[in-house]
Amino acid sequence: MDSSLLFITIACRILMTVSATKLQIVTSLNYNLSLSNDLIVTGAAFQLGLENVNRKYEGYLEVSIRHLFNAWDRNCDQLASNAAEMLSQYYYTEKEPKETCFAIVTSLSALAVNDEIDPKDRLVPAVSVGGTYRGFVRVILDFLVSFKWYRFSIVVETATAAPFYKNMGNHVLRYARLSEHRFDVELYRFDPDSKSLLQALALAKERSRVMILFTLGSTAAAILKMTEELGMANGEYVFINVHPLQGDNYGWTSQFSLPDAQLNSSHSNSWLVNVHRSFFFITYQIVTEKLKTLSAAIAAKTEEMYNFTYSPGVEPLDGFPIPVSYDIVEIFAELVNSSRQADGENDGAPVCSGLALANSIAQRRFSLTTGAMYVNAGRARNLNIDIFKFDTRSMTLQVM
């Protein structure tokens, strides 16, 4: 692989230049496959990110964006085939002059699959800035280590529309067994019926007192209500429910609130409080509350550019693909600008060396419009995660 390439995964590729004033971001994303990173939902974030950095670096950097896509792609195989063809055509016939820094943004995770758990080769100029399963694995394993919980069970709900739960279960199992902490772990799957679920929980109970639930929020709430029947309601069992984000297709913290009415007969239902006190809810951090103006602007721009509107109650910044798309533009501009400042503009330094920029991003903090971001030693973005715990005063889940 050419060492002048930088993949940000979402990923990027950069050409050498002496005066890095022009930048072009080329996206190669699915247009409308009903996926969270479809261009029809991320495109507005790229556009507003572009406008933001051009204002910020006016007179120093000039950033543009080119979207390469086939609107008729209907599956990932078609997407990959057409993306390779379009990128090749762009590289050989349409790219801007050599004095332009280029970044290619793609959702093909194989381009930047490694991270701090499984580090990238330093000669592979790849950076992972989107949400990754391994990012969640790192959070979960670090959380377990912090409490010295080295023996745990994974419980996976198999019949969900979202592949997140099954994939996460497999990833946690794999990396826990490879970990230096020598975790003792087993995985149990259950079908969508109460008998299968009870069997999985009974088996898991025999092995450990810590359960990681890769299930829908509604299923996790039902599990907590089964614990008395299973002899797991004494507060000595820990339940950890993990989601990529809060939403109807995953789960909500509100599903684990205990209304006063449930506790009025307090003595008979006190076990519910014990169980909830041992419950944790892990999910991607929502930034919408801090960025309502930006979220509204992205929603309006999305409707303007792609005639796509969000459902009531759904905010563009609630998940990670859209804020990450906005972040990519800002990160790329900051990397090139800091390289310009360090190397100077007239000494022939390769300020757009993909390999140099990829390595310079490791173990680096960024202060972005959407919030703080840290890229670890494996050149993978640490996910901004919220961990919720039950608060006995409000009888609701609150961020720890």
CATH number for 119: 3.40.50
The answer on 115 and 57 residing in a single domain is yes
pLDDT computed for residue 248 by the predictor? 80
Q: What percent of the chain has pLDDT over 90?
A: 37
Tell me whether residue 384 is in a domain.
no
Does residue 336 sit in the same domain as residue 273?
Answer: no
| Cα four-point dihedral sign 390, 395, 399, 400 | negative
Q: Among all chains, which residue has been given the structure tokens 């929020």?
A: 217
What integer pLDDT is reported at residue 5 of this predicted model?
Answer: 36
138 and 266 in one domain?
yes
Tens of pLDDT, residues 81-121: 887 788 888 877 766 666 677 888 887 655 444 444 454 45
Is 163 found in the same domain as 241? Answer: yes
Domain identity same for 138 and 124? no
Domain with 183 in it: 133-284
Q: What is the pLDDT of residues 336-354, one digit of tens each?
A: 888 777 665 545 445 677 7
Which residue among 254, 284, 314 closes a domain?
A: 284
Burial 31-57 (b: 16+ CB within 10 A, else e): bbbeebbbbbbbbbbbbbbbebbbeeb
Of 258, 320, 250, nearest in space to 281 by CA: 250
Same domain, 139 and 279: yes
Residue 390 located in a structural domain:
no
DSSP for 245-276 reads: S-STTS--GGGG---HHHHTTHHHHHHHHHHH
pLDDT band, very low/low/confident/very high, at 156 (cuts 50, 70, 90): very high
User: What is d(CA 295, CA 90) in angstroms, rounded to the nearest whole number?
Assistant: 32
Please tell me whether residues 148 and 121 are part of one structural domain: no
φ/ψ bin of 49: left (φ > 0), alpha (ψ from -120 to 50), beta (otherwise): alpha
Residue 33 and residue 77: Cα distance in Å, rounded?
Answer: 12
The predicted model gives 34-47 an average pLDDT of 90
pLDDT tens for residues 200-235? 898 998 999 999 999 999 999 999 999 998 899 888
Per the rule left: phi > 0, alpha: psi between -120 and 50, beta: everything else, 305 is alpha
Q: What is the pLDDT of residue 95?
A: 63
Query: Is 145 a member of any domain?
Result: yes
What are the tokens at 299?
Answer: 């929603």
- Domain closes at, from 263, 284, 305: 284
Output the domain CATH number for residue 141.
3.40.50.2300
Q: Is residue 391 part of a domain?
A: no
Q: Which of 268, 284, 300 is the last residue of a domain?
A: 284
The verdict on 111 and 142 lying in the same domain is: no
Number of folded domains in the chain? 2
CA distances from 254 to 44, 217, 246, 292 (A): 30, 10, 10, 21
Q: Are 292 and 270 contacting, i.e. CB atoms less than 8 angstroms apart?
A: no
Q: Answer yes or no: is 18 within a domain.
A: yes
Element spanning 137, H or E: helix 133-146
For residue 271, the one-letter residue type is: W
Q: Where are the beta strands (DSSP E) in 251-348?
A: 279-284
State the pLDDT confidence band at 33, using cuts at 50, 70 and 90: confident
Distance (Å, whole) CA 111 – CA 10: 9
Distance (Å, whole) CA 382 – CA 364: 11
Is pLDDT larger for residue 136 or for residue 96?
136
Residues 151 and 107 in one domain: no
**How big is the chain, counted in residues?**
400
Q: Are 275 and 328 in the same domain?
A: no
Token pair recorded at residue 290: 């801090």
d(CA 199, CA 337): 57
Residues 297, 271 within the same domain: no
For residues 160 and 193, state if they share a domain: yes
pLDDT number for residue 338: 85
Whether 120 is covered by a domain: the verdict is: yes
The answer to whether residue 275 sits within a structural domain is: yes
